[in-house]
Amino acid sequence: MAFKENLNTKSAYIEDLLKEYMPKEEGYQKTIFEAMNYSLSAGGKRLRPILTLEATKIVGGDEKEAVPFAMAIEMIHTYSLIHDDLPAMDNDDFRRGKPTNHKVFGDAMATLAGDALLNYAFEIMLKESIGKSNPDRRLKAIYEIARGAGIYGMIGGQVVDIESEDKSIEKEKLDFIHMNKTAAMIVGCMRAGAIIGDATEEDLQNITRYAKNIGLAFQIVDDILDIVGDEKILGKPVGSDLENHKSTYPTLIGLEKSRKVAKDLIEEAKDSIRKISGDFSFLEGLADYIISRDH
Instruction: Return mean pLDDT, the chain.
Output: 92
pLDDT above 90 for 242: no
> How much is the pLDDT for 133?
83
Average pLDDT score over residue span 111-127 = 98
Give yes or no for a contact between 84 and 92, defined as CB atoms under 8 angstroms apart.
yes
Residue 284 β-bridge partners: none
Identify residue 42 by its one-letter amino acid code: A
Give residue-wise pLDDT tens across range 16-70.
999 999 999 999 999 999 999 999 999 888 999 999 999 999 999 999 999 999 9
Q: Considering only 39-43, 144-148, 236-240, which range has the smallest mean pLDDT?
A: 236-240
> How much is the pLDDT for 243?
53
Q: How far is CA 190 from the centre of its chain?
A: 11
Q: How far is CA 103 from the centre of its chain?
A: 23
The listed CATH number (1.20.1630.10, 1.10.600.10, 2.40.30.10, 3.30.300.210) that belongs to domain 2-292: 1.10.600.10
From CA 83, how far away is CA 113, in angstroms rounded?
9
> How much is the pLDDT for 245?
57
From CA 40, how far away is CA 27, in angstroms rounded?
19
- Backbone φ and ψ of 209, nearest 5°: -65, -45
Show Cβ contacts of residue 178 under 8 Å, excluding neighbours closer than 6 positions: 157, 215, 216, 219, 220
- Backbone φ and ψ of 166, nearest 5°: 60, 20
Looking only at the bridges linking them, the beta strands covering 94-95 and 98-99 are antiparallel
From CA 261, how far away is CA 220, in angstroms rounded?
8
Give yes or no for a contact between 52 and 185, defined as CB atoms under 8 angstroms apart.
no
- Backbone φ and ψ of 165, nearest 5°: -65, 145
Helix (H, G, I), strand (E, B) or coil at 58: helix
Q: What is the pTM of this model?
A: 0.91
Domain boundaries, the chain: 2-292
pLDDT above 70 for 231: no
From CA 74, how far away is CA 182, in angstroms rounded?
14
